[in-house]
Amino acid sequence: MSYESGPYRVSRVLLARPDFRTACETRDFRMAFRLMKKYDGASQNRIASPVEGL
Q: Residue 9's beta-bridge partner residues?
A: 52
Contact yes or no for 47/36 (Cβ under 8 A): yes
The average pLDDT across 21-35 equals 96
pTM: 0.77
Q: Which residues contact 16 (CB under 8 A, 6 or more apart)?
A: none
41: left (phi over 0), alpha (psi -120 to 50) or beta: left
CA 38, CA 14: separation in Å to the nearest integer? Answer: 10
38 versus 7: the higher-pLDDT residue is 38
